[in-house]
């Protein structure tokens, strides 16, 4: 389920209007991707160093791409002392979404993510017997967290929070800004977004890309939304994939089959009050597929979704939850 978050949500900074305070705009690289942050601060503070320090500490906890991180030590059964607040928050949220989605979201799928070539390790040659073997130690019920200590039913069980860690990092930066008394801002890291307040009496605008296969360039916009106090995350199968023997292999792994997902959904954009939840749910819904996703969303009206899928004739179609229709910007 690991995702390198570079895809569908594009901040429309060029839609900023003049405001009483001058907007502060920060951009850079972190977590293997880019970030863009814009906020209004009466004190005109540049918080870039503090933000980057926060993101660095976060990576030291939950990045599987750092061999010395807390999560890497846990995965390798090394001594680590106690877990920290970042790890605990990710673990508890993962458990919540795992239960909510009936296992469609499961961070213990990490061995399969690696085996399929979407993690830090080299791709294995996968046959069904190998997949079945890896599935024996996949399942979030096989690992528990109690008072800062992890217990596994099998030492080979390992965790991957990358499917929603970037969403959580957006929340962490947002919380930092709020703690400074900054209430009008938008934070984007690797395509995941949280927008708070308004800018000069107007909502923030975000655009969702068309799901056109390419790994590097920005695609044309499909729709523009106006949001306030909302986290948005998108998961898609047209950015991160490999081609093997002429067959496209998407990076989302179904925890039940151990194989990359194969269904009509091309992308899932999820809107909730926290970016960590939006991020995890976007992955889960892409794994579910269109029909199960519709049933799930009908049972959870607090979750707003914009799903792009391919119909039987190969044409793009859209499923949108009713409330989200009202958030479509008039100025598209």
Domains of the chain, start order: 9-325 (3.10.520.10)
What's this model's pTM, rounded to 2 decimal places?
0.87
Please list, in sequence order, all residues whose beta carbon lies within 8 angstroms of the beta carbon of residue 120, skipping any fewer than 6 positions away: 64, 65, 114
Contacts with 132 (C-beta within 8 Å, 6 or more apart), sequence order: 258
pLDDT band at 270 (very low <50, low <70, confident <90, very high): very high
Segment 116-140 shows an average pLDDT of 80
* Confidence (pLDDT) at 2: 34
- Beta carbons within 10 angstroms of residue 225's beta carbon: 24
pLDDT of residue 121: 60
Per-residue confidence band for 212, with pLDDT thresholds at 50, 70 and 90: low
Do 252 and 260 contact (CB within 8 A), yes or no?
A: yes
User: Which pLDDT band holds residue 209 (cuts at 50, 70, 90)?
Assistant: confident
Write the pLDDT tens digit of every residue in 221-241: 678 999 999 999 998 875 544
Reported as a single tens digit per residue, the pLDDT across 29-72 is 988 889 999 999 999 999 999 999 999 999 999 999 999 999 99
**Mean pLDDT score, 141-158:** 97
Tell me how many degrees the CA angle 260-192-73 measures, rounded to the nearest 5: 65
Residue 45, SS3 per DSSP: coil
């Amino acid at each position: 389920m690991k995702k390198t978050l570079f895809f569908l949500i594009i901040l429309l900074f060029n839609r900023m209007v003049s405001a009483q305070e001058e907007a502060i705009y920060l951009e850079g690289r972190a977590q293997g991707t880019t970030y863009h942050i814009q906020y209004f601060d009466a004190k005109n503070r540049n918080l870039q160093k503090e933000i980057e320090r926060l993101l660095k500490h976060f990576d030291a906890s939950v990045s599987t791409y750092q061999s010395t991180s807390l999560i890497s030590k846990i995965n390798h059964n090394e001594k680590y002392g106690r877990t920290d607040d970042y790890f605990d928050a990710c673990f508890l949220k993962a458990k919540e979404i795992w239960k909510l989605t009936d296992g469609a979201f499961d961070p213990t799928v990490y061995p399969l993510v690696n085996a399929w070539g979407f993690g830090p390790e080299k791709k294995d040659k996968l046959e069904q017997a190998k997949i079945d073997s890896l599935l024996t130690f996949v399942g979030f019920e096989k690992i528990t967290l109690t008072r800062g200590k992890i217990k596994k039913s099998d030492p080979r069980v390992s965790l991957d929070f990358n499917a929603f860690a970037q969403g959580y990092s957006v929340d962490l930066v947002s919380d930092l800004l709020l703690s400074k008394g900054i209430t009008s801002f938008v934070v984007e890291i690797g395509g995941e977004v949280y927008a708070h307040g308004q800018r000069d009496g107007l909502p923030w605008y975000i655009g969702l890309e068309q799901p056109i296969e390419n790994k590097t360039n920005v695609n044309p916009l499909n729709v523009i939304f106006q949001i306030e106090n909302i986290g948005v995350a998108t998961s898609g199968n047209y950015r991160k994939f490999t081609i093997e023997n002429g067959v496209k292999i998407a990076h989302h792994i179904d925890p039940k089959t151990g194989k990359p997902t194969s269904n009509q959904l091309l992308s899932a954009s999820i809107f909730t009050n926290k970016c960590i939840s939006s991020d995890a749910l976007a992955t889960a819904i892409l794994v579910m597929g269109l029909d199960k996703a519709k049933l799930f969303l009908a049972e959870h009206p607090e979750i707003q979704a914009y799903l792009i899928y391919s119909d039987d004739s190969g044409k793009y179609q859209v499923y949108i939850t009713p409330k989200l229709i009202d958030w479509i910007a008039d100025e598209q």
